[in-house]
């Protein structure tokens, strides 16, 4: 979708972007190969061309930092297919308290679409280890992570993530879907492994407490619960990407193939 995106150009909003699509300018190359447009001043067209040429080069280099500055956070989803190879789904569990009330992270789950790993407090979880792991990715997928997971990691461990971020909670709201992660899983027929079906965040807190008392099975279940959360994020990202793409109207408008209005 990113190659069909023009809304990051100064002065081009959703309406103008849709106009370009209707007029047959469906991608950056179409825009660059169109000498002029009646409703865009020549000087502005040249500036747009320069920005699109730079974007194409940075996209080929998978330069996430360039697009982090170019795109609004709400549009980071548009890069998902191109950044899937460099993406990780992240989900945390905590002891149930806020950071200022003694809250801390118990498990950080990371899933890259193939492999899952759990960083567990008192064992594999440390600020240094987590920061090092996150350096290996340039695109993070969370559910409500903008408000909870990422601020909690920053405040409790001092680990910050400022790269591209696909927050599925707000993506779902944009396409009219409400509810938490498990509600959306049920909506799309995603089934968790039997051992953790029905568990929620409060259960995760209780499992951690039991694990602290030496219950190895409780820790195993906690990690399994987190794994299901994290794997679901990657699956749901695929679904919501398509939902968001449909919402833009691109596929419908690009098919109109109206003549380009040249000057």
Q: Report the candidate in 232, 235, 210, 233 with the shortest Cα–Cα distance to residue 221.
A: 210
Give the pLDDT confidence of 89-112 residue by residue, as tens digits. Answer: 999 999 999 999 999 999 999 999
Backbone angles phi, psi at 212, to 5 degrees: -65, -20
Region 2-24: mean pLDDT is: 96
Q: Is the pLDDT of residue 229 over 70?
A: yes
- Can you give the pLDDT at residue 254? 86
With bands split at pLDDT 50, 70 and 90, how would you rate the model's confidence at 255?
Answer: confident
C-alpha angle 4-6-11 in degrees, rounded to nearest 5: 170
Instruction: Determine the average pLDDT of the residues in 60-83.
Output: 97
- In words, the CATH class of domain 81-245 is alpha beta
Q: What are the domain boundaries of the chain?
A: 2-72+249-254, 81-245
- Burial of 236 per CB tally in 10 Å (0-12, 13-18, 19+): buried
What pLDDT band is residue 193 in, cutting at 50, 70 and 90? very high
DSSP letter at 37 equals B
| 191 contacts: CB under 8 Å, gap ≥ 6 | 185, 197
Q: What is the pLDDT of residues 30-41, one digit of tens each?
A: 999 999 999 999
| pLDDT tens track for 142-184 | 999 999 999 999 999 999 999 999 999 999 999 999 999 999 9
Q: What is the pTM of this model?
A: 0.94
Chain mean pLDDT for the chain: 95
Exposed, middle or buried, 162 (CB in 10 Å: 0-12/13-18/19+)?
exposed
Burial of 51 (0-12, 13-18, 19+ CB in 10 A): middle
**Average pLDDT for residues 16-34, to the nearest whole number?**
97
């Amino acid at each position: 979708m990113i190659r069909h995106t023009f809304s990051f150009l100064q002065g081009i909003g959703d309406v103008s972007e849709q106009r370009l699509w209707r007029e047959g300018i469906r991608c950056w190359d179409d825009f660059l190969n169109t000498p002029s447009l009646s409703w865009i001043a020549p000087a502005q067209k040249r500036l747009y061309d320069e920005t699109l040429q730079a974007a194409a080069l940075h996209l080929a280099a998978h330069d996430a930092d360039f697009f982090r500055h170019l795109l609004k956070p709400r549009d980071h989803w548009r890069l998902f297919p191109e950044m899937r190879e460099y993406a990780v789904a992240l989900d945390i569990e905590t002891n149930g308290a806020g950071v200022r009330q003694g809250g801390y992270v118990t498990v950080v789950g990371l899933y890259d679409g193939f492999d899952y790993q759990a960083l567990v407090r008192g064992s594999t979880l440390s600020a240094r280890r987590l920061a090092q792991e996150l350096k290996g990715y340039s695109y993070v997928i969370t559910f409500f992570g903008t408000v909870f997971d990422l601020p909690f990691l920053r405040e409790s461990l001092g680990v910050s993530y400022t790269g591209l971020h696909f927050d599925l909670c707000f993506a779902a709201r944009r396409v009219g879907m409400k509810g938490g992660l498990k509600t959306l899983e049920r909506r799309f027929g995603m089934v968790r492994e039997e051992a953790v079906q029905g568990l929620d965040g409060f259960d995760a807190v209780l499992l951690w407490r039991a694990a602290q008392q030496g219950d190895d099975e409780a820790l195993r279940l906690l990690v399994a619960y987190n794994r299901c959360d994290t794997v679901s994020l990657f699956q749901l990202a695929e679904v919501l990407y398509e939902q968001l793409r449909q919402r833009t109207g691109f596929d419908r408008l690009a098919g109109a193939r109206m003549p380009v209005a040249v000057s």
